[in-house]
Homo-oligomer: A and B are copies of this chain.
Amino acid sequence: MPRYLMAFSLLERQGQSFVSSSQLAQQVHLNSPQIRKDLSYFGAFGTRGVGYPVAPTGEQIREILKLDIRQKAALVGAGRLGTAIASYPGFRVFGFDLAAIFDNSASKIGKKIAGIPVESITRIGSVKTRRIHLAILAVPIDAAQTCADSLIQAGIRGILNLSPCWLKVPKRVKVVSIDIAMELGALPYYL
């Protein structure tokens, strides 16, 4: 669904008012029955003979993904990767709001990254009262589990983990992991 939302957002900006499943298929590189199945799974958005109304369908997908309400996220780790992510404009499209940055290095605390002040990692518990439910973990691998534990203690519900390790978390917490090296590791096989 995030991929569809991306496509609908683009079409919105381009001012197109309707889109058919086969048009969409070209854009997201899937086939049209797949798209119809996926969208119909969450309800019927389209009008037969015409296609999907771009703006309303985009809005509905946002509601489904809970992206209609602005989602606050905390970034943990203001190293090179963390800094890159903090400055990434792609989050805006999905309505994310980077609400806090934490790091343990004294030289970084107090400085601003992408307009947001870096706080000490000891203040990580404050996400609870600040109503931040999502975290992006961009710390060295040895620190990942410890940071995750603190975040969960502080009531975090979802973690995007950028370390190449599996986080041990309770079932109620959802983790998505990205390891750039592992994705690259699959490439040589196909040459």
Contacts and interface: CB of A to CB of B under 8 A. Distances in A.
A154 to B, nearest CB: 15
Interface in A60-76: 64-67, 71, 73
Contacts of A191: 66, 133, 157-158, 174
Contact of A181 (B81, B93, B187): B93
A185 B84 contact: no
A186 B84 contact: no
Interface residues of A, number: 52
B182 A3 contact: yes
B180 A90 contact: yes
A85 interface: yes
A90 B162 CA distance: 11
Contact of A185 (B67, B88, B164, B166): B67
Interface of A: 1-3, 5-6, 27-29, 64-67, 71, 73, 79-81, 83-85, 87-88, 90-91, 93-94, 96, 133-134, 136, 157-158, 160, 162, 164, 166, 174, 176, 178-191
